[in-house]
Amino acid sequence: QVQLVESGGGSVQAGGSLGLSCILSGNTDSVNWMGWFRQAPGKEREGVAVISDEGSTTYYADSVKGRFTISRDNAKNAVYLQMNSLKPKDTAMYYCAAARNLAPWYGGGGSGVNFWGQGTQVTVSS
């Protein structure tokens, strides 16, 4: 089992920045890919960013490229998402996710994710 606990998030005006953190505990060797999903009201959950176990490979949704940065610190069992130049359309519940492979971030609303965090709200006002 792996437990994921998120922190960060909150409310910010458009153009502002927020950072999210996710701390892993448990059998962390059982998962390789870590990342973030988000879900806005009435919309399907979508993959936002993902990072490989060594941190050498990252992928981003087109909608956040150039604005969001994912990173991880394996010594702290932590994954981070720095969000800059935030837009109202970034408003959503953000979920930390852990998976054994990259497939969940290719679509399907996160199907195949092995472990989820509880979610943290990000609200961007215009």
Alpha-carbon Rg for the chain, nearest whole angstrom, is: 13
**Sheet strands side by side (includes 78-83):** 2-8, 18-26, 78-83, 68-73
Scanning 22-125, the segments in alpha helix (DSSP H) are none
Q: What is the pLDDT along the chain (126 residues), one digit of tens a residue?
A: 889 999 999 999 999 999 999 999 988 788 899 999 999 999 999 999 999 999 899 999 999 999 999 999 999 999 999 999 999 999 999 999 999 988 888 877 889 999 999 999 999 999
How many Å is the maximal CA-CA distance in the chain? Answer: 41
Residue 58 identity: T
